[in-house]
Amino acid sequence: MNLLLEALAWLLSPERLEGSDSLPRAVLVHLAYTFAAVAIAAAVAVPAGWAIGHTGRGREIAVGLAGAARAIPSFGLILLLVLLLGVTNKPEAALIAFVLLAIPSILAGAYAGLEAVDRATIDAARAQGMTGWQVLWRVEAPLGLPLLVAGIRSAVLQVVATVTLAAYVNLGGLGFDILQGLQLRRFEQVLGGAIAVAALALLLDAVFALLQRAAVPGHLRRAGRGPASRPLVGAPA
C-alpha cells in the first residue's frame, strides 16, 4: 500500500507536469506513435479485409498471417528493425514494428465484419440492381462497421501497450519513466509509469467501446442484434 501511495504521489507531483520529460508530453508522444501506427495499419488492412470479406477469397491466408503475427515478439521486432534500418532511423523502425503489430486485428475486423452480414440482405441488394461496388459501400461496409471498429479497438490497445517498449530505443513516451525507474531502482516511479500506461489504455478502450456501439445501425441496436457482438475470427486477444 505504501508503494502505491508513493507511486501516486510521484505521478501527481508538480515536477511531473512541467519540463521536457513531463507527463503530458510523455502522453502526447505515446499517443502520437499509437495513432500514427494504427492509421497506417488501417490504410493497409481495411481495403485488404474488405476485399477478402466481399469476395470470400484469401481468408485462410489472412487467418494464417494473423496467427503468425501473434507469435512475433514485439521487443525483438523493434530491435531487429532498428538494426536493419540503422540507429539514425529509430523512430521509423519503431513505427514500422507498431504498424505490423496493428495490421492483424484490423484485417480480421474488416473481413469478419463483411462476413457477418446476412447473405439474404446482400441478395436483396443485388436483386434491386446494385453493382458489386454499391453492395460493398451501401450494404456490407455500413453493416460491418461495428466489427471493423472492434478490430481497430483491439489494435489500439495492443499498440498502446507495445509503445511502452519504445523507451528501450530512446524514443520517449510513458515507457521512459518505467525504464528509468528500473535503472535507478526507484520502484515508485516504475509503478507510477505502469499506472499511467494502464490508465491511458483503459481510457482509449472506453472511447472505442462507445464508438463501437455507435457504429451499430440504430434499428439493429434497438433490436439487440448486429455484428458488433460477434467474435473476431483470427484477431489477436
Name the residue ranges covered by the structural domains of the chain. Answer: 2-13+35-229
Phi/psi at 111 (5° precision): -75, -30
Cβ atoms of residues 220 and 35 within 8 Å: no
Torsion sign (Cα): 129, 145, 38, 107: negative
At 218 the pLDDT is 65
Cβ atoms of residues 90 and 169 within 8 Å: yes
Percent of the chain with pLDDT over 90: 28
C-alpha distances out from residue 113 to 1, 62, 150, 187, 217, Å: 45, 14, 9, 44, 13
How many CB atoms are located within 10 Å of the residue 236 CB? 18
CATH of 2-13+35-229, one of 3.40.309.10, 3.30.365.10, 1.10.10.10, 1.10.3720.10: 1.10.3720.10
CA atoms within 13 A on the CB side of 93: 23
Smallest CA-to-CA distance from 144 within 66, 61, 49, 65 is with 49
At 219 the pLDDT is 60
pTM over 0.85? The answer is no
Residue 211 pLDDT exceeds 80 = yes
C-alpha distances out from residue 97 to 66, 74, 76, 80, Å: 15, 7, 10, 9
Dump pLDDT digits (tens) for 64-110.
877 777 777 777 788 888 888 876 788 888 899 899 889 989 998 99
- Rounded to 10 deg, the angle between the 59-70 and 23-55 helix axes is 150
Torsion sign (Cα): 150, 152, 155, 156: negative
- Confidence at 152, pLDDT banded by 50, 70, 90: very high
Residue 233 pLDDT exceeds 70 = no
Residue 227 pLDDT exceeds 60 = no
At 220 the pLDDT is 61
Residue 236 pLDDT exceeds 50 = no
At 41 the pLDDT is 94
* Alpha carbons 177 and 232: distance in angstroms, whole number: 34
Ranking 76-85, 146-155, 175-184, 215-224 by mean pLDDT, the lowest is 215-224
More confident position, 133 or 110: 110
**Three-state secondary-structure class, residue 173:** coil
At 167 the pLDDT is 84
How many CB atoms are located within 10 Å of the residue 206 CB? 10
Residue 223 pLDDT exceeds 60 = no
At 17 the pLDDT is 76
Which three cell numbers, joined as nine digits, stand for 41? 495499419
- Confidence at 229, pLDDT banded by 50, 70, 90: very low
At 20 the pLDDT is 66
